[in-house]
Amino acid sequence: MTNKYIVWFDEIGLDDVALVGGKNSSLGEMICNLKQLGIQVPFGFAITTHAYQYFLEYNNLVDTIKNYLKNINYEDHVDLCRTAQKIRLIIKNGEYPKDLETEILEKYEELTKMYTPLNIKNYEVDVAIRSSATCEDLSNSSFAGAHDSFLNVRSGKNVLEKIKDCFASLYTERAIDYRKNINYNSDGIKLSVGVQKMVRADCGGCAGVAFSCDNLYGNDNVITINCNYGLGESVVGGTVDVDEIILHKENLRKGYRAIVDKRLGSKEEQMIYSDSLEKRTQMIAVHEEDRYKYCISDDHTLELGKWVLILEDYYSKRNGSHINIDCEFGVDGESNQLFLLQCRPETVHTNTNTNVLVEYKFVNDPPEPVAKGIAVCEKIATGRVKIIFTMDTRIDKIEFEEGDILVTQFSTPDMECLMKKSSAVITCTGGPSSHCSIVCRELNKPAVLSVNNATKIFKNGDILTVSCAQGSVGYIYRGNIPFEKEETVLNFSEPPCKIVLNVADPSQAYSFARLPNSGVGLLRLEHLISNHIGIHPMALINPHIVDKSTLNKIKELTKGYDDL
């Protein structure tokens, strides 16, 4: 099999990263070894790294690409962008060797036959074309958003075109720069491409990402799920405020309905199939009544949680030590079935030094925040606002200084060069599983996501202090608020008595859990109500006796929940 140009997913596994890359090898592993445990993965095939190499050699591109990479001035972002564009262009203009082209078309036709509905003529199966590099989705690097993927691709012609586009995406400026930053030798990197049947999450279904830990602190006792209606690109792309659901692992293993917390996202938009095959997908508004419902049912949530436990145990055993995982999933709206679309090791908290506790604290009590959102990376930072709406303009024309605060509608992979220079990031949309969240955690930059109208609230030049050090909620203050950083080495022996903690704000529980402790000693009910529930229980039980403003607050807080 080592010299094959194309392999089916059920012919590969985790030992085949060199042949099919991290993403495809994981898909094959799940199909081959976890199907019997009930885990469903859409079928497909992989264009191997041998096919990629064959394509480059057939077009005499190997030495040309090496020379381009060798002469890049990494200190000059304009030169990096221009060189990356030149490499992508020569790849996209390359011709397929006839035998490789024929084999790709034959495999696509076979996949079409597997999924053709009865009595449908001239059917062309809808597939996702996903890049799968030999360096990505590994335990020490995510390459989040570095390489391209394409959804709802139909016809052999379009499949051939998008495979070439995936080949070319190995040389986007963000991918080249990422490899440079982690000292990964670009000469040895190769790309595989996965061709996988789409899950119709756009037909009344949903999609998203599930982590086997807490996104912010890496707490290993929970599973975190982020999802939205429609295709999952809106979740990982951070273009919407998504639903978040938390499951407790231990109780889930015991068979309980272990949903311990929910946060309803606004979910203004969803991604669906486009009527135009050229465009392939489009964003549409979500009906208002659906926005106030959770997009995934409790039953599917619990089923997904059980799959995450299976995957975590399986991948940890394969790894030889415990690792957290994250996986993308979709609920097919036509069949109402749950599917996994990919699985990979979680890269941020898995590689964090847990023996050193780093805390950021304000010197004095801060003033009232002017905005708040979802916190990413437990830090505080101060800087000058720079609002960026798009990276379509030339990078050398963008005035972004070291230490500026990037404020944007949602981050794109092209913005990573700015995110590296920023002291903090603020976005109008997005959630803990978005591209912005993953990149900021890898860069160790604080970010506050889903700050409604952030690009209108703040102006270029505003001095802000961004705090993600006060729990799962991130706060934004005007002005330069003094703060300090403390580091504590947690290397002392276990004390002879149990140490339990008093907790006033449940949102800080994950942060407290990192301290040596034997659990919670006291959680005052009034603090739980004021900090987490947000309304007095008697007002919830007797809404008919409260004033109009309180009733409106109750309606807002209880969106997404059924009345008793």
Task: With H, G, I as helix, E, B as strand and everything else as coil, classify residue 289.
Answer: helix
- Three-point CA angle 177, 183, 186, nearest 5°: 65
Q: How far is CA 50 from CA 3, 5, 67, in A?
A: 7, 6, 21
The ranges assigned to domains in the chain are 6-197, 206-346, 356-489, 501-557
Least Cα distance to 230 among 246, 242, 247 occurs for 242
Rounded to an integer, the average pLDDT of 402-414 is: 90
DSSP assignment of 212-263: SS-TTT--TTEEEEEEEEB-THHHHTT-S--EEEEEEHHHHHTT---EEEEE
Residue type, 510: Y
What does the alpha-carbon distance between residue 221 and residue 218 come to, in Å, rounded to a whole number? 9
Q: Above pLDDT 90, what percent of the chain?
A: 60
Q: If pLDDT is split at 50, 70 and 90, which confidence band does 141 have?
A: very low
d(CA 123, CA 154): 9
Is the pLDDT at 371 greater than 50, yes or no? yes
2-61 pLDDT, tens digit per residue, is: 579 999 999 999 999 999 999 999 999 999 999 999 999 999 999 999 999 999 999 999
Q: What length is written for the chain?
A: 564
Give CA–CA dist 314/29, Å, rounded: 10
When pLDDT is averaged across residues 364-389 and rounded to a whole number, the result is: 94
CB 529 within 8 A of CB 537: yes
Give the pairing type, strands 520-523 and 501-503: parallel
Percent of the chain with pLDDT over 70: 93
Q: What is the pLDDT of residue 462?
A: 96
Name the superfamily (CATH) of residues 356-489.
Answer: Phosphohistidine domain (3.50.30.10)
Residue 531 DSSP code:
I
Torsion of CA 217, 218, 223, 228, to 10 degrees: 60
Confidence of residue 146 (pLDDT cuts 50, 70, 90): low
Structure token pair of residue 390: 């798009």
**How do residues 99-137 score in pLDDT, each as one tens digit?**
999 999 999 999 999 999 887 888 999 999 999 988 654
pLDDT in tens, 517-532: 888 888 888 888 887 8
Structure tokens at 431: 């959630």
Q: What is the pLDDT of residue 140?
A: 46
Q: Over the stretch 202-234, which tens digit does the pLDDT of each residue have?
A: 999 999 999 999 887 888 999 999 999 999 999
CA dist 146 and 177 (Å) reads 10
Q: Which two tokens stand for residue 138?
A: 């590994």
The number of C-alpha atoms within 13 Å of 249 and in the hemisphere containing its C-beta is: 19
pLDDT one-digit tens code per residue, 427-446:
999 888 888 888 898 888 99
Q: Which two tokens stand for residue 346?
A: 């979680």
**pLDDT tens-digit map of 449-467:** 999 899 999 999 999 999 9
Which tens digits make up the pLDDT trace of 485-525?
988 777 767 778 888 888 887 777 887 887 778 888 888 88
pLDDT, mean of residues 373-389: 93
Check if CATH label 3.90.1200.10 holds for domain 6-197.
no
Give residue 521's pLDDT.
87
Backbone angles phi, psi at 286, to 5 degrees: -85, 135
Say if residue 564's pLDDT is above 70: no
2 in Cβ contact with 19 (< 8 Å): yes
d(CA 500, CA 498): 6
pLDDT digits (tens, 9 = 90+) for 538-552: 888 888 888 888 888
Whole-number Å distance between alpha carbons of 318 and 257? 28
Range 354-358 average pLDDT: 73
Q: Whole-number mean pLDDT of the chain?
A: 89
Angle subtended by helix axes 17-33 and 49-58, to nearest 10: 150
- Alpha helix segments (H runs only) across 237-355: 249-253, 288-291, 298-319
pLDDT digits (tens, 9 = 90+) for 163-175: 999 999 999 888 8
Alpha-carbon radius of gyration of the chain: 24
In which band, very low, low, confident or very high, does the pLDDT at 138 lie, cut at 50, 70 and 90? Answer: very low
Q: Is the pLDDT of residue 144 over 60?
A: no
Tell the CATH topology of 206-346: D-amino Acid Aminotransferase; Chain A, domain 1 (3.30.470)
Find out whether 223 and 212 touch, Cβ atoms under 8 Å. yes
SS3 (DSSP) at 458: coil
Alpha-carbon gap, residue 147 to 175, rounded angstroms: 7
| pLDDT reported for residue 308 | 97
Please write the tens of the pLDDT for every residue from 229-272.
999 999 988 888 899 999 999 999 999 999 999 999 999 999 99
pLDDT of residue 142: 46
| Distance between CA atoms of residues 43 and 37, nearest Å | 16
Query: Predicted confidence band at 287 (pLDDT cuts at 50, 70, 90)?
Result: very high
Is-same-fold flag (206-346; 356-489)?
Answer: no
Contact status, residue 479 vs residue 463, Cβ threshold 8 Å: yes
* 531-544: b (≥16 Cβ within 10 Å) or e: beeebeeeeeeeee
- pLDDT at residue 351 is higher than 70: no
Read off φ and ψ for residue 430, nearest 5 degrees: 100, 160
- Residues 71 and 447: their CA atoms lie apart, in Å, by 34
Listed range (182-186, 286-290, 323-327) with the worst mean pLDDT: 182-186
